[in-house]
Each structure stands twice: as C-alpha cells, then as structure tokens.
Amino acid sequence: MIASPDRTPLPRAFFDRPVLEVARDLLGRHLVRTTEDGPIELRLTEVEAYDGPNDPGSHAYRGRTTRNGVMFGPPGHVYVYFTYGMWHCMNLVCGPEGRASGVLLRAGEVVEGVEQARKRRISARTDKELAKGPARLATALGVDRALDGADACAGPDSPFTVLHGTPADPDQVRSGPRTGVAGEGGVHPWRFWISDDPTVSPYRAHVPRRRRA
C-alpha cells in the first residue's frame, strides 16, 4: 500500500537555505493554490534554480528593480513575472533575505482541482500537459502579477501553500542545463527533474531572437 503524501506545510526555514538545495528538495512536494472555486494542487516534478548576484541568468543579477523586488525579500514568498508579453511564470524565493535567489517552478502533476485547471488550459491534450512547462503551470493555477509577493508560508489565509508531500527519490532526480538561458548562465546544470515523469517539459536550448528587418 502506497502511503498518502504528508500534508504538513513546509516552514519558512525550508526555503531559507542555498538555492540549489531548495531546488532539488522541492521535487515531489505539493503546491496548493487556493482559489474562490476551490483548491488546485500539484506535485512538483521539474524546477530551475537561479542564484541572484552569482548568476547571469537571474533577473536579480544586476540588482534590485521594481520588477524583481520580491526576490530580495524574505524566503518563502512568491515571485511572479510576465514574459514575452503573454505569459506569467512563478518562482519561490529562497536563501537569506537580500540574497535574491529563487526557484522557477517548471512543471508538475495536477492531483486535485483538475477540472479547474482544464478550464484554464483548454489547449492541453491530456491531463499530463496541464502544467507541463512554467507558463502552463502558472496558467493552470491562475497565477498572474497580482499574486507577486504572496507569502507561501503564511498559513491558510495565503493563496499558496507548499506541503511536505513525498520527496522525490534522490536516485530518480536528474539535472542539466536550464531551458532557454543564454550565455554564461546557460551552462549551469541547475534544472532539476524527476526522471521519466511524463509531466516534465522537454529541454530547449537558447535560440537568439532575430531582429526584424
């Protein structure tokens, strides 16, 4: 008999650690998004680490801005950004306050609130695709910039909670280059995923954007 996932909320101390430790340790945890229509819950299967001032791929590499300010705050908060003029992506801030490191949530398996997720992700061909990729994950959970700064460690009044879940077997965790990251930041093997999980998104190397003539 398979034991049910542990539903104990993760404390702030879980996130107040080096980003590479947190990123690996998030695999298998359960993220709960509370909405007016009920909760949506997913099991995290793929993440990427971003190490602030030490990482050219990080939004915080060149310092604090209006956009990335949440990354410099306390660990356990949610950093949401808007990209390519159409998509939102969700991160969990970690490390000591002021460090500006965070983990991008790239993919997961929706285990509760599937009908809600389907309504938001009508183009998904199967349930395994509902949160297969960071923009899809954010869309399935109804995440936008209004949720930037939400405290995932604030308890039942927060729109987000991260549960203990069932941590991924270390033997099943893989790592490799981050998806679509250019230059020096693209070589870091800071993307982590659960091997052979069908919800993990495909790797794509960075492709320079061509200027229009």
Compute CA distances 39 → 12, 161, 163, 196, whole Å. Answer: 21, 10, 13, 27
Q: What is the pTM of this model?
A: 0.93
Share of the chain above pLDDT 90, in %: 79
pLDDT tens-place string over residues 8-66: 999 999 999 999 999 999 999 999 999 999 999 999 999 999 998 889 989 999 889 99
Q: How far apart are CA 68 and CA 63, in angstroms?
A: 9
Domain boundaries of the chain, sorted by first residue: 6-166
Nearest to 152 by CA among 165, 139, 163: 163
Contact between 24 and 190 under an 8 Å Cβ cutoff? The reply is no
Average model confidence (pLDDT) for the chain?
Answer: 92
Exposure of 164 by Cβ count < 10 A (0-12 exposed, 13-18 middle, 19+ buried)?
middle
Mean pLDDT of 177-206: 87
Mean pLDDT of 141-169: 96
Task: Write out the two tokens for 6.
Answer: 């542990």
pLDDT tens-place string over residues 77-104: 999 999 877 899 999 999 999 999 999 9
Contact between 163 and 75 under an 8 Å Cβ cutoff? The reply is no
- The CA dihedral of 27, 33, 37, 42, to the nearest 10 degrees, is 0
> How many other C-beta atoms lie within 10 A of the C-beta of residue 183?
9
| Residue 211 pLDDT level (bands cut at 50, 70, 90) | low
> How many other C-beta atoms lie within 10 A of the C-beta of residue 161?
21
Compute CA distances 89 → 4, 21, 167, whole Å. Answer: 29, 21, 23
Q: Which residue has the higher pLDDT, 208 or 6?
A: 6
Task: Write out the two tokens for 192.
Answer: 């982590």
pLDDT score for 1: 47
CA 210 to chain centre: 28
> What are the backbone dihedrals phi and psi of residue 35, each rounded to the nearest 5 degrees, phi first?
-130, 170
Mean pLDDT of 189-204: 94
Mean pLDDT of 199-212: 72
| Residue 210 pLDDT level (bands cut at 50, 70, 90) | low
pLDDT score for 206: 60
Second CATH level (architecture) for the domain 6-166: Roll (3.10)
Q: How far apart are the first and last CA of the chain?
A: 62
Compute CA distances 44 → 32, 58, 59, 175, whole Å. Answer: 11, 21, 22, 15
| Strand spans (E) along the chain | 6-9, 30-35, 38-51, 78-83, 87-94, 101-112, 160-165, 173-176, 191-194
| Residue 162 pLDDT level (bands cut at 50, 70, 90) | very high
